[in-house]
Structures are given as C-alpha cells and as structure tokens.
Amino acid sequence: DFEVEINNASINVSGDVDKTKIDKLRTITTGDITVETLTESKENLAIINAYEAGRSEGDVILTNANINVTNNVNKAEADIINAYNTSANKTVSLTSLTDTFEHIKTLQNTDGIVMTSAAITTTDEVSFDDAKTLNDFTDGQVTLNKVADSYANIQNILGLNDSEVIMSDASI
C-alpha cells in the first residue's frame, strides 16, 4: 500500500488562485504555501498577507507572487500591496486607480506596479498635458474630476476619445 501525508508539506501553487483556493489549501497543510499568481480584492489581499502558520493551517508566501488587484485602490494602498511581493520581476497589476495626478504619476514609475489596463480617476485639477500623460499610462479609461487649463486646451480634452479620456462630470 501507498500513503501520502501532506499535512506538514510546503506547497508551491502554480497558476492563478484567489482567497477561496488559498483558504482550502490552508486546511490541508501547516507548511508554507507559496503562490505564483494571486487575483483578489485589496481587502482579501490584506487578509491573505496577514496569514501565519498555525496549529492547523499553513502560512501563505506572497514574496514571489504576481498580484492582480480586482478593485479600486489609491497610491497608499497600491504601495502596501506592492510590498507583499518583494522578489525582482514580480508585479502588482491594478484594475482601477483613484488618486491625485502626482500620486498616479509616481505609481507609474514605481517598480512592480502595472497599470497598463487600469481605469484611472484623478481627484485633483489636471491640465490637457496631464490628461495626455495619464492616457499614455493605460489602455483603460481615464476619468478627470477637475480640469484647470485654457479654453483651447479644455476643448482639446473634449476632443479626445471618450473611451480613453472623459471629463463629462468634471469641475472646470
């Protein structure tokens, strides 16, 4: 006969997982659970990151994980999540981002942060040049809440494709 015990085993999980799958794995081992790709909300990512090995559940290791955030974050939240995976060439992909122009620009230049498909919303005044910069960051839609620029440049913003940059509800 053949018997395998994994209750103390370290587990390396390939492919994409979420909190439900991780919680299930934690019930079968007290060893480390190393995740390759994790897709979850910022709230569940914080819960998973706080997991520690216990008497009946394993610790979850995110240092080598690529992380996909499924809900909206700001810069501070993105920075916290980016600290979960500390290995080189690992990423945190944002789905939606709301913050000031400067914070968004800083995130764009942060190692590990990917916003190429994110919906981006600015919370402060931006100009036409800022709108173009934000649009270059993502293939997703950029929503401007406040615009401050010349009449001609505001018209230039209005001339941008609404599927890329929208300011219909913006304060001007």
Read off the pLDDT of residues 114-134 as tens digits, 9 standing for 90 and up.
Answer: 999 999 999 999 999 999 999
Give per-residue pLDDT as tens, 135-157.
999 999 999 999 999 999 999 99
Number of other residues whose CB lies within 10 A of the CB of residue 141? 17
Number of other residues whose CB lies within 10 A of the CB of residue 22? 21
pLDDT of res. 53:
76
pLDDT of res. 42:
98
d(CA 99, CA 94): 13
DSSP per residue, 104-146: HHHHHTSTTEE-TT-EEEEEEEE-HHHHHHHHHH-SS-EEEEE
**pLDDT(30) > 90:** no
pLDDT of res. 102:
98
pLDDT of res. 88:
86
